[in-house]
Chain A
């Protein structure tokens, strides 16, 4: 069938993309606005980017967010991978259904509830709210996402690889680090990236569990916006978008290249 650009198709695409990207485009455009008024175009300028780097509050928040995201994503990746391993490998222990349900519950749990319950816990155990509590909360939030990603890879993992390694003399721990881990590494890395981005843009849970001195970037942006949107915020958001977009593009290009290379190799191998 020929691809037909009927009026209906064009309308759908334009509406769809406008719906998704118009707000973002507006935000990016106005970040280059000369005027201090967000909704009035006053000519092109990059001055808000310059002033952004002199805004100590925003820079501090960015630093906090980056640290929280890296630490929580790393810890969540370790825990999530362990959970995924247990769930795929030990399929017959008592309470497995309950356990797997509990690991994945935070996926659908409203963030407000997760945030509130964590807040109550931290207050109950007398943990001062700050950097540590936000990080812990983000580990809780993102661990299950990692578990899902890693588990779906482990389900298709050929167990005979591990058996072959053991057969050749590698004890279980060595087998795990030399065979299992390298083979599932791509899934673990995408799990980490997912956890990192989730932590990066979380506002709700951070608001509940953060304290003085540990304001994350989304919290900072939100609080500043309540006092009125400044083009500085637009600039900050544009940078954030750029970072995420570049990350996604690099990841998908690398993936694509690997796939193409693999196909070429396989064809070469078939030819002999």
Chain B
């Protein structure tokens, strides 16, 4: 038998042209009065995928989720689930379940009755309900809390009850609206991995809405970055991070240094970019950007080396002055002010306990990077 990890590694239906889409947003628009929450958006999600909708608050990601659950109807366009158009199907007849941001636990019911609620609606026989509820309680490790009411639970326990309740009916798709938003940092990190394991072991399709990019990066197979009701990019976490499709995505996910400039000379992907003030950047990732095109060169802080002297043989090296240092334990972040005033962020892993060449405030320093370290953005 294959381990879950190796299934995970091979799982990439989005690269398979014959893969059947499971959830399809087809040119969906949603308007609330004059406000357009979702604008002509198309999106495809595959079966058993862990899909994240990532965006700032008010970007329309929650509206997408609520349309999938049936609480809102699209103003235009179609939403298909497993080939079936969902228009006009009320929430209580859709094979999807949702975990709410507020958890929405029924305050007058015990934990086990909360979990059993959906099963009772289906008219499942009592012994089966009891068995399923027991199974769910075990899954979220709340067996001894079955008879408690929601207000007798801690935040983390409530979150797990909400989760158990939403997967109890074995829905085709589980929708999670900011599932970890109300937990503290440590608990959130633990729960992220629990959610991933759960999704793998149940074999469900998860669609999660979040504003926390770290959460999306950790959990999701693919991330859709949403802004102003439109999809900016859909890709795996690594692609989103290493090959952002636009300035917005590069800036939204993680930290980035951005140099605006023009392609001075380019051929076969390699190019030099004139970033003004005498800074020329040589890159191998220019793609098909034409000579003279206005582009942004984006490079992540951890891909920039910082040193007190110019590294021998460096293709890209720029001199500046150390202007801020943040020691974070596992790494140190330097802010270097280049001679043209541009501030570059560079981070260094603290692999050794004591660094032999400590740079200090106001020291002259060189930032350098390889020609394949950054990406060229045309949008």
Contact = CB atoms under 8 A, between A and B. Distances in A.
B121 A168 contact: yes
A166 interface: yes
Given A158-B102, A160-B100, A269-B152, A168 B69 contact: no
B107 A268 contact: no
Interface in A145-168: 158, 160-161, 163-168
A170 B151 contact: no
Interface string A237-272: 000000000000000000000000010011011101
Contacts of B71: 163
Given A269-B152, A272-B154, A170 B102 contact: no
A183 interface: yes
A166 B106 CA distance: 12
Contacts of B118: 168-169
A174 interface: yes
A160 B152 contact: no
Given A158-B104, A160-B104, A265-B151, A169 B98 contact: no
A38 interface: no
A182 interface: yes
A265 B91 contact: no
A158 B150 CA distance: 15
Given A160-B102, A179-B106, A168 B152 contact: no
Q: In terms of DSSP, what is the predominant structure of the interface of chain A?
A: helix
B97 A168 contact: yes
A174 B122 CA distance: 13
A170 B121 contact: yes
Contact of B104 (A163, A170, A182): A163
A270 B98 CA distance: 26
A224 B375 CA distance: 97
B117 A269 contact: no
A230 B43 CA distance: 84
B108 interface: yes
Contacts of A262: 151
A171 interface: yes
Given A161-B106, A163-B91, A183-B108, A169 B152 contact: no
B308 interface: no
Contacts of A265: 149, 151-152
Contact of B97 (A161, A167, A174): A167
Contacts of B122: 169
Contact of A182 (B69, B70, B108, B117): B108
Contacts of A161: 104, 106-107
B72 to A, nearest CB: 11
Interface string A159-196: 01101111111110010001100110000000000000
Contacts of A174: 121
B315 interface: no
B151 A166 contact: no
Interface of A: 158, 160-161, 163-171, 174, 178-179, 182-183, 262, 265-266, 268-270, 272
Interface of B: 69-71, 90-93, 96-98, 100-102, 104-108, 117-118, 121-122, 149, 151-154, 157, 165-166, 169
30 contacts: A160-B100, A160-B101, A160-B102, A161-B104, A163-B69, A163-B71, A163-B98, A164-B98, A164-B104, A165-B117, A167-B70, A167-B91, A168-B92, A168-B97, A168-B117, A168-B121, A168-B165, A169-B93, A170-B121, A171-B92, A174-B121, A183-B108, A262-B151, A265-B149, A265-B151, A265-B152, A266-B152, A269-B152, A269-B154, A269-B157
9 closest A-B pairs by CB: A168-B118, A169-B121, A164-B104, A160-B104, A265-B152, A166-B91, A182-B108, A166-B92, A160-B100
